[in-house]
A and B are shown apart, each in its own frame.
Chain A
Amino acid sequence: MIIEQLLMSFVASAAFAILFNVPKGSLLQSGFVGMIGWLLYISLLNVVDEPILPTLISSFVVAVTSQVFAKLYKTPIIVFSVSGIIPLVPGGLAYDAMRKVVENHYDTAVQLAAKALMLSGAIAMGLVFSEVINHLIRRSRL
């Protein structure tokens, strides 16, 4: 079961990297970043019973891993972080919200949409945190 999830998230992230025209040499790393993020997300979801904290933590880890890879392979961070973040994007929730709108359940729809927005915010926070920490490390060395 976990193997299945790992394999799927790896392939999905690498496939997304192809859609974004990531250079051939970075495809495997992109898939790997996505896999790490998704593994952390689903394991944290078993411990904490709500998606916001897991999303925040795993997008932070995705960003840190991307930064390490960016340094290692001298490639812009965006190449790794974008495909790694994709599995965490709340596509399912956004769809559910929209489906509720179509069914005229506006109250549930607004709740779901707000949740999807919070999750997008959590992803962005994770990315920004890692950047801030990176900045601080670089500053303290000088």
Chain B
Amino acid sequence: MDHPSHSAYDIAQVCLLAGKIMLENGGETYRVEDTMTRVAAAFGIRNSQSYVTPTGILFSIDGPQQTTRMIRISERSTDLHKVTLVNAISRKISLGELSVSEAHRLLNEIEGASAMYPLWFKIMAAAIASGCFLIMFGGTWHDFIPVFLAGGIGFAFQLYFHRLVPIKFIAEFLGSVLIGAIAYLFLKAGFGHDLDKMIVGSVMPLVPGLLITNAVRDLMAGHLVSGLSKGAEACLTAFAIGAGIAFVLSFISGVGIG
């Protein structure tokens, strides 16, 4: 395929935008690199290099129209819908069905699109997941409603705190303090039986399961920098949850009712 009307700059722009959307929304590092070089190759650029870490992307095109560009990634969340959409577009580009400018327009649309599910729906999902995990971890049905509430409220407040204070650690810490407190209050009020199982179920929506597995996977694949930084992020989240629950537990045992 030949695109004489498009400069290397335009192509780099499309590749970077695709990579940025994937990385910001939970795509794996190696897949982001792969997508970027594949898109560049489909637009006729054979010698492109990409270097992706969770906090930034470097992309360079060698040759007469040499360009090197970089973007900083500061906010990361998980939105697999967007990852799927970008994947579909890169597939189309590889098949030669999209021009550079058209691809750029579509990617911009994806980037600006709003979330797939409304907020209340996600909170409901978190609450239901908490309840299900309680049963899966061997809890009794008596604890289902308290865990449902604690998990849902904890998750909702974690989202809310994150909007107030843009530091993830604080939001996760406060969210799990709330979960611990609610679970304990239910136990005291006689609506719960097993505090440990209740707390484990309720914190599951906050647990960084995706990050942990992605981190180890990146490490094994040789992406050492991104593996270590994802691992650090996962450890920090786990520590925030642990510290939040520990805060509540030590309070309880300190007062002497635990």
A residues in contact (CB < 8 Å) with B: 4-5, 8-9, 11-12, 15-24, 26, 38, 74-76, 78-79, 82, 85-87, 89, 91-92, 94-96, 98-99, 101-103, 120-121, 123-125, 127-128
Interface-lining segment among B10-18, B52-60, B80-88? B80-88
> B136 contacts A78, CB within 8 Å?
no
| Contacts known (A8-B135, A15-B128, A127-B213); A75 close to B84, Cβ less than 8 A | yes
- CB–CB B242/A75 < 8 A: no
* B216 and A12 within 8 A (CB): no
CB proximity of A130 to chain B, nearest CB, Å? 11
Taking a contact as CB atoms closer than 8 A, the residue among A76, A89, A123 that contacts B207 in the complex is A89
B130 to chain A, nearest CB (A): 9
- How far apart sit A135 and B26, CA to CA, in the bound complex (Å)? 23
CA distance A102 to B79 in the complex (A): 35
Per a CB cutoff under 8 Å, which of B84, B122, B242 touches A76? B84
**A67–chain B nearest beta-carbon distance, Å:** 14
Given known contacts A16-B129, A102-B246, is B137 in contact with A92 (CB within 8 Å)? yes
Instruction: Find the A residue at minimum CB distance from B215.
Output: A124
The yes or no answer to B126 lying at the interface (CB within 8 A) is yes
Q: Is the CB of A91 within 8 A of B200?
A: yes
Among B83, B116, B132, B210, point to the contact of A24 (Cβ < 8 A): B116
Q: What 8 pairs between A and B have smallest CB-CB spacing?
A: A124-B216, A12-B132, A15-B129, A18-B125, A89-B209, A98-B242, A15-B125, A21-B79
Complex formed: what's the CA distance from A75 to B26 in Å? 14
Contact A23 B209 (CB under 8 A): no
**Inter-subunit contact B246/A95 (CB<8 Å):** no
Residues on B with beta carbons closer than 8 Å to the beta carbon of A23: 80-81, 84, 116
Given A15-B132, A21-B81, the answer on whether A120 and B246 have CB atoms closer than 8 Å is: no
**Smallest beta-carbon distance A89→chain B, Å:** 4
B133: Cβ under 8 A from any A Cβ: yes
Given known A-B contacts A8-B136, A18-B117, A102 and B250 have beta carbons under 8 A apart: yes
Known: A15-B129, A21-B117, A76-B83. A120 touches B212 (CB 8 A): yes
Q: In the complex, how many angstroms separate the beta carbon of B99 from the nearest chain A beta carbon?
A: 22
Which of B31, B133, B213, B253 counts the most chain A CB atoms within 10 A? B213
**Which chain A positions have C-beta within 8 A of B209?**
82, 85-86, 89, 91
Q: A18-B117, A91-B133, A102-B250 are in contact. List 6 more A-B contacts (CB 8 A).
A: A19-B122, A89-B212, A94-B238, A95-B199, A95-B203, A120-B213
Q: Which of B78, B88, B207 contacts A21 (CB 8 A)?
A: B78
Contacts of B132 in A (CB 8 A): 8-9, 11-12, 15
